[in-house]
Structure 1
Amino acid sequence: MSGYEFFADGARVSFGGDEFVFVEVCEGMDLAQALRIQAITGELARRELPGVLDVAPANASYLVRADPDVLHPRELVRALARLHDRFGEAGSVALDTEIVEIPVWYADPETERTCLKFRDRHQSPTETDIAYTARINGLASVADLVAAHTSAPFIVTFPCFKPGNTECVQLVPRERQIQAPKYLRPRTETPARAVAHGGAFTVVYPTAGVGGYQLLGRSPVPVADLTQQTPGFETSKVLATISTLLRFRSVPGEEYEQLRTDSREGRYRYRRAPVRFALAEFLADPAGYPRTLEAALSC
């Protein structure tokens, strides 16, 4: 099958052979559209439609793989069109999810040591990543950037390329979004559990490796455990799945070291709580509504 089709909301549909249906909902990152994608794909997964083999949501699009011997691609497209109609308005998107706290030592020695090794690949040859990110966002200091980054929770919009490495967008008005370019050329080194920012997205690197996002700090606790031996990973190998809310909390070096020891020795317990995220309520009060979600961590 070939060519494009369009849903009533303007989403563009294309086919990859007989197995894959690719739906482009928007061309750029838009939080409301990203959450519509989560609602559409989440409902599709819950329905367990015979023939649907896999559903992969992203920030501006999603991909569905189906067995054409069980479900004809045209039938799948008709089912998707109905879901697009159902979740056509912001008021229709409500996600049952959870909020999880991630402690972070911002401007820690390890991420600063790492970023200073790769200034030849960076836009600024003299600043650390976190100082550079603060400056280009019009903030007076690293402390101001930390305050902005911890001022409201983030929501996971894309599961990214390693287990546990999730892109998330801060729940703030668009003019308050932190923005930062990726490195000119990727680093060949990134510390495990590094917290970094690229574009409009924050990530926590689950393991050491290459990377290109601006390094802001490091968390003492893991975001993935493929063995599921760490407390908090009993039901999932990753801490955050799509639509999870992440609240970053700044901690000093001494507390980081204690939390790191507690985590390694199995004593750390993640602060987490179930929440229902309503897109319409966020759009109506983007400054106040996230605080009501954070309050769930205090219950």
Structure 2
Amino acid sequence: MPARYSFGGDEHLFIECSDEMSLEAFFKSLSMATAVRESQIKGVTEICPANASFQVKFNPDIIKPDDMMKEVRAIEVDAEKAEPVLKTRIVEIPVFYNDPWTHETLMRFRERHQEPEGTDLDYAARINGYDAVGSFIEAHHGSPWFVSMVGFVAGLPFMYQMVERERQIEVPKYLRPRTDTPRLTVGHGGCFGCIYSVRGAGGYQMFGITPMPIFDSSQTTSYLRDFMVFFRPGDIVKFKPIDRAAYDQAVEDVDRGRFSPPIREVTFDLREFQKDIDGYNTKLEGTLYAH
């Protein structure tokens, strides 16, 4: 479908590639945002990509808003022809599901939840048709996730599950947001998974916690010394369930500079993925453990 264009005041152009999230919409928005950056249009000062859209900030004293729109519309035509192939990486993220810290937090805020008598995992399992929390957890970590956007707060990834739409986990956010969420909580809201990069308010359902920092403004974490934000759009995430002992060991390894997340460079081809989703995912995951 054609992109939808709208102005935000005199300095912003918002381009919405779709009104619903899909990998096709993500690829189109990423392709367009990249092309705008590479075109070096005079007057463009910033480009902000999102899940299925992006925003361009420009100086109206250098380029008029209507001219800015013409430039981007021309780029859209070329973006439609672009190959849906992305050089990216797959990373394994350990998760301690049903951990005591997110459990304590969710119990503090039960009056804000759709089903105060249960837990977030109970609720998510039930409304997604799983007969047990364990089966739901298996579905959560059983397929990879695509990072479609990083932001909202520093370093927070929005993740889209790489399965057929009818199999995707969907859970509404809390009825009222919490005032507290543990740092590194693995959460879910709507069709998007996330990892809370810092402690703070939030409304996503809480499923577990990872020992792996994904944002470090001090850049003292061993694998974040070059850049304080771990994730970037296009990353593919494979969650690995761990127990309390493995969680504690990973925390210690992070503190001592010994933790190194498994990462492999991969090429993701949307067309090949769509031909055989489960088979393609298995091949992707296999690259993580290939020697």
Aligned: 1:220 with 2:218: no
Match of 2:74 in 1: 82
Contact 1:87 1:93 in 2 (8 A): no
Q: Gapped runs of 5+ residues in structure 2?
A: none
In structure 2, C-alpha distance between the alignment counterparts of 1:160 and 1:129, rounded to whole Å: 24
- Other structure's SS at 2:240 match: strand
Match of 1:119 in 2: 110
Match of 1:142 in 2: 133
Deviations, residues 171-205 of structure 1 (Å, cap 9, x unaligned): 11111100000000011111111101110111111
- Other structure's SS at 2:277 match: coil
In structure 1, C-alpha distance between the alignment counterparts of 2:35 and 2:218, rounded to whole Å: 29
Deviations, residues 153-176 of structure 1 (Å, cap 9, x unaligned): 111112231111111101111111
- Other structure's SS at 1:259 match: helix
- Other structure's SS at 2:214 match: coil
Aligned: 1:183 with 2:174: yes
- Relative distance call for 1:49 and 1:28 in structure 2 (3 A) is same
Q: 2:228 aligns with which of 233, 237, 240?
A: 237
How far the C-alpha of 1:293 sits from its partner, in A, is 1.8
Contact 1:173 1:287 in 2 (8 A): no
Q: Which amino acid aligns with 1:172?
A: V
Contact 1:86 1:92 in 2 (8 A): no
Match of 2:43 in 1: 51
- Other structure's SS at 2:101 match: helix
- Relative distance call for 1:277 and 1:71 in structure 2 (3 A) is farther
What aligned pairs does 1:1-299 form with structure 2 within 5 A after superposition?
9-88=1-80, 92-299=83-290
In structure 2, C-alpha distance between the alignment counterparts of 1:210 and 1:179, rounded to whole Å: 21
In structure 2, C-alpha distance between the alignment counterparts of 1:263 and 1:135, rounded to whole Å: 35
How far the C-alpha of 1:73 sits from its partner, in A, is 3.2
Deviations, residues 221-277 of structure 1 (Å, cap 9, x unaligned): 101111222111133211111111111110111101100111112110111111121
How far the C-alpha of 1:150 sits from its partner, in A, is 1.1
Match of 1:5 in 2: none
RMSD: 1.6
Q: How many residues align?
A: 290
Contact 1:29 1:60 in 2 (8 A): yes
Q: Which amino acid aligns with 2:141?
A: T
Q: More displaced, 92-101 or 186-195?
A: 92-101
In structure 1, C-alpha distance between the alignment counterparts of 2:90 and 2:64, rounded to whole Å: 38
How far the C-alpha of 1:64 sits from its partner, in A, is 0.3
Deviations, residues 7-27 of structure 1 (Å, cap 9, x unaligned): xx4222122333211112222
- Relative distance call for 1:77 and 1:40 in structure 2 (3 A) is same
- Other structure's SS at 1:192 match: coil
Q: More displaced, 212-221 or 13-22?
A: 13-22
Contact 1:39 1:95 in 2 (8 A): no
In structure 2, C-alpha distance between the alignment counterparts of 1:261 and 1:213, rounded to whole Å: 28
